[in-house]
Amino acid sequence: MSSNADHSATPALPPHDPNDPVENAVIRRLAGNWHRRASVKREEPDLDDLFQHERPDYPEALLPFHDHPTYQALPPEKRNELLSWGWIAFNRHTVMVEQKLANPAFALVVEGEYPDIQGEAMNTALAQAMVDEQYHTLMHLNASAVTRRQRGGGLRDSDLPMPHLVREHQRLRDSAEERWQRSLTTLAFATVTEISIVAYLSLIVDNPDIQPINSTTVKIHNRDEYCHSSITAELAEMVHSKLNAAQRRFFLDHLAKGLDGFVTNDYASWDRVMDLSRIEGGHEMLADCRAESSRQRLVCDYSGLRGLAERLDVVEQLDIDWSQSVATG
């Protein structure tokens, strides 16, 4: 590729420097076309106009208790209220993962925590991804606000606890003794979420039965995440290549811990919802579900992390039961 062609395709970036050891073609291409593909650069739809009251806010099949007798016996308005809470919790989880994991990890790199991998294109791509995440946060906050306006009363995001994954990340950071351990904890958890969030969002994207603005919000978000997944995989590979043996072991252990937290159903959040919605027998229902291993996970597709593990040639070194993964395409 000539430097001229490169320059015209990526107006936001200076010409490619073949002597720069941290130049990366994938990162450079993604940084160069951000202005054409990013959701933040597009017009926002008017969400209230699109709301359809008769549609549920969240897919019933995603409730871990959807076939439990206690849930089945609830009147339709209570079942709908729990589905609205499912959507509010989905938004809160998404927002908190972006604010507490993805953006802090990107900021770490931009601020120079890993100077060996810092290049102009990487910094640009990460700064763009941080803008994307901030915009996704706004999109999901707006989506929850529309749900509250249209359904009336309650349904406050802040009534829910911090998501399980974020609490687990904080617990591990608090228990780490060294700065490099805290940084790699954040980087590992962000790597897992950025590589796996497409599988999480895909739980909703193509559902034809739920509130169309909810599936549309997720679809718009998901488009950006395909690129974040590529950027994060490149970043993880570059960082991994610079780590010593102990740091590599730590990073791989925390990728596995991050995946475990990412795929798990957040029962603490549902416990809070049972109180907020005053569901009689709700906690007992959740205890029944928790006890069943088949109801532990919300996300069953590990293919994102599997792909990275293959690239790093560490599939066997990760404490993950890959046979549990069900690819969703």
Instruction: Give the residues lining the site for Fe ion (CB under 5 A).
Output: 133, 136, 194, 225, 228
HEC-encoded secondary structure of 139-189: HHHHHHHHHHHHHCCCCCHHHCCCCHHHHHHHHHHHHCCCHHHHHHHHHHH
Give the nearer residue to Fe ion in terms of CB position, either 82 or 195.
Answer: 195
Nearer to Fe ion among residue 147 and residue 232 (C-beta) = 232
* CA–CA distance, 61 with 160 (Å, rounded to integer): 21
With 0-12 CB in 10 A as exposed, 13-18 as middle and 19+ as buried, what is 252? Answer: buried
H-only helix segments in 12-54? 25-32, 34-37, 47-50
CB closer to Fe ion, 81 vs 194: 194
We find the least distance from the C-beta atom of residue 228 to Fe ion, in angstroms, to be 4
To the nearest whole angstrom, how small is the minimum distance from the Cβ of residue 225 to Fe ion?
5
Q: Which is nearer to Fe ion, 95 or 289 (CB)?
A: 95
Nearest to 262 by CA among 208, 202, 190, 315: 190
Dihedral angle of Cα 215, 220, 222, 226, to the nearest 10 degrees: 160
User: 168 or 194: whose CB is closer to Fe ion?
Assistant: 194
Closest CA to 45 of 222, 220, 234: 220
How many CA atoms lie within 13 Å of 93's alpha carbon, on the beta-carbon side? 25
**Residue 189 CB, nearest distance to Fe ion (Å)?**
13
Residue 113's alpha-carbon distances to 104, 109, 140, 226, 255, in angstroms, are: 11, 5, 30, 25, 19
Least distance in Å: CB of 213 to Fe ion?
17
> 28 vs 136, which CB is nearer to Fe ion?
136
Question: CB under 8 Å to 6, separation ≥6 — which residues?
Answer: 15, 16, 28
Closest approach of Cβ 290 to Fe ion, in Å? 29
Beta carbon nearer to Fe ion, 127 or 176: 127
User: Which C-beta is closer to Fe ion: that of 29 or that of 223?
Assistant: 223
Q: With residue 274 as reference, give the H or E element that holds it.
A: helix 267-276
What are the C-alpha distances in Å from 69 to residues 22, 59, 64, 297? 57, 18, 12, 20
Per-residue CA distances from 119 to 21, 82, 106 (Å): 9, 47, 13
Shortest Cβ 174–Fe ion spacing (Å): 25
Give least dist CB 129 to Fe ion, A: 6
d(CA 225, CA 132): 9
What minimum distance in Å lies between the beta carbon of 313 and Fe ion? 25
Least CB distance to Fe ion at residue 40 (A) = 11
CB nearer Fe ion, residue 155 or residue 220: 220
